[in-house]
């Protein structure tokens, strides 16, 4: 039961509007940093320290903004981290409620197969590399695709529109280069 793109777009807009109205704009890439910090703090308990003013870290990135990231890693049950966990849980529940992920959804799209064959390892590697590049760039920019583009444009922030233009300016030539053969 795939969702019609128009209905999905309206629902997404409503969710983003409610998030901004009731809590704060949606953004998730920072939560990958928080998850990394939680894991790193387990491996090295001296990474995050409680102070009288809050939290700090021996890692400069976690200590910036008066220890905001260190505090979030020390106390991860906050809105943003729970939101990211809820996204994964929601996707899982959605798949289960509609009867699982069908065989057609588990196979590579025809366009991918026409250009790169059927081997899943290559597809996973490209997906990982693409995700890494986008996440790395997002962290350099101090945000993420959902924070800059979706939430930013919804709030009519100039940076949101600039990011969206840049994302499409990079994505279109990349797609043309990657998918020279048609399905």
User: Looking at residue 47, what is its pLDDT?
Assistant: 95
Q: Is 108 a residue whose pLDDT tops 70?
A: yes
Q: How confident is the model at residue 1 (pLDDT cuts 50, 70, 90)?
A: low
Write the CA distances from 113 to 121, 126, 136, 177, integer angstroms: 13, 13, 28, 15
Q: Is 146 a residue whose pLDDT tops 80?
A: no
């Amino acid at each position: 039961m795939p969702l019609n793109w128009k209905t999905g777009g309206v629902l997404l807009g409503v969710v983003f509007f409610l998030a901004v109205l009731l809590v704060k704009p949606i953004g998730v890439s920072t939560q990958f940093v928080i998850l990394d910090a939680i894991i790193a703090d387990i491996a090295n308990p001296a990474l995050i320290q409680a102070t009288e003013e809050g939290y700090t870290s021996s890692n400069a990135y976690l200590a910036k903004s008066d220890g905001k990231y260190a505090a979030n890693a020390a106390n991860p049950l906050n809105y943003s981290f729970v939101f990211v966990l809820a996204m994964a849980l929601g996707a899982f529940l959605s798949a289960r409620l509609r009867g699982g992920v069908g065989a057609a959804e588990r196979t590579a799209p025809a366009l991918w197969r026409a250009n790169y064959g059927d081997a899943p390892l290559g597809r996973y590697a490209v997906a990982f590399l693409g995700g890494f590049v986008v996440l790395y760039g997002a962290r350099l920019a101090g945000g993420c695709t959902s924070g800059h583009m979706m939430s930013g444009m919804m709030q009519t922030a100039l940076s949101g529109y600039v990011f969206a233009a840049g994302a499409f300016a990079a994505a279109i030539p990349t797609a043309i280069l990657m998918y020279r053969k048609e399905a």
